[in-house]
Amino acid sequence: MVNYDEIGPEKILQVYDVRSGMKGILVIDNTKRGPGKGGIRMTPGVSVDEVARLARAMTLKCALADLPFGGAKSGIIADSSKLDKKKKKEIVEEFARALRIVAPEMYIAAPDMNMAESEMEWFAHANGSLKSCTGKPAKLGGLPHELGSTGFGVYHACLLALKHKKMDIKNVKVAIEGFGNVGEFAARFLSEKGARLVAVSDRSGMVYNEKGLDFKELALVKKEKGEIINYKGGKKMPNKDLIYVDCDLLVTAAIPDLVKKEDVGRIKAKIIVEGSNIPMTHEIEEMLVKKGVLIIPDFVANAGGVISSYVEHIGGDEKKMFKMVEEKIVKNTQMALDNKDKFKGCVRCSAMNIALERVRKGGNN
């Protein structure tokens, strides 16, 4: 097995612009397989440590997906909810200009938290290259992440996990943390397949109903009122409590470091599929695995977004994107599951071994 600490990071950049107040971070973790690929998140608390962990996850994700990309990630330190469109555009543009020294040759950006296709359009124009990012609007040749590529991949990872546990999806209770671009699509696909959606959360709180929530009504409430807490058909609870509900399948799809050590004993889910990046540490995952929980890690389950980015990068269309997402997620999730017993049931360890071997070899294997 390759030494995990030897693959990076290669570069850590911190950039500032006094006039706009832009403060940004870029970590290029590894470029042995190609330019570092990874999204830009905009949150007030994003840190070098968080970005570095996310960049490492991208190195593993791109290698496991067998894409000609390395791993990277970036962050803009700002509270998006307190910025008007003009100010946000100014900050994003200054960040894009500051990264001209590495993008697109060493870094290719993408959407992440509080960054979507319009922000990618600003980034590309300010950077001076349409190749500097993916997730752009369709008018610029983009495949926006709003098409649901990541949630679609998470859905397929869930199906394989359920099959591995010999569980019938029509008898499965599902809880989904986060009802944004990843969680909403995962909820939709799982509901359409027959799963019972019992709990969903967003930043406004959680709604819970053990008899099931109506996905279409939830989506309508989110669209019209902006927060799922306005949904009438369930009990309103704090969003943190979602990870404790009685469910078979828990899908994380929002914040990092969601699960803490003290939460382990209260989690009832038999399967956790990590639609979000770094929802818990490896140490906490191992504690849950010892409890008998099957965990499909982030860089395996949520690779749909970066696979979509690759299809956009080579000029492919939406049909090609969904086909490739399904094929690669199914293949790599199954490969990791097949080898997990060599690593005491740790799917992350199994998948990491595959990914790190590919990084060590370099190139697109």
Task: List, in order, residues 6 or more apart from 141 with CB less than 8 Å away.
Answer: 130, 312, 315
Task: List, in order, residues 6 or more apart from 171 with CB less than 8 Å away.
Answer: none
Is residue 64 within 8 Å of residue 34, measured between CB atoms?
A: no
Residues across the chain: 365
The CA distance from 136 to 122, in Å, is 9
The CA distance from 313 to 133, in Å, is 9
The CA distance from 108 to 91, in Å, is 18
**Which of 73, 222, 328, 340 does the annotation list as catalytic?**
73
Amino acid letter for position 331: K
CA distances from 84 to 34, 53, 88, 273 (A): 36, 30, 6, 35
CA 99 to chain CA mean position, Å: 23
Question: Quick one: tokens of 37?
Answer: 């690929």
Whether 73 is catalytic is: yes
Backbone angles phi, psi at 105, to 5 degrees: -65, -40
The CA distance from 235 to 263, in Å, is 21
Q: Which helix (H) or strand (E) holds 149?
A: helix 149-164
Nearest CA to 169 among 151, 149, 186, 182?
Answer: 186
- Looking at 84-172, which runs of residues are DSSP E strands? 107-108
Give me the active site residues, please.
73
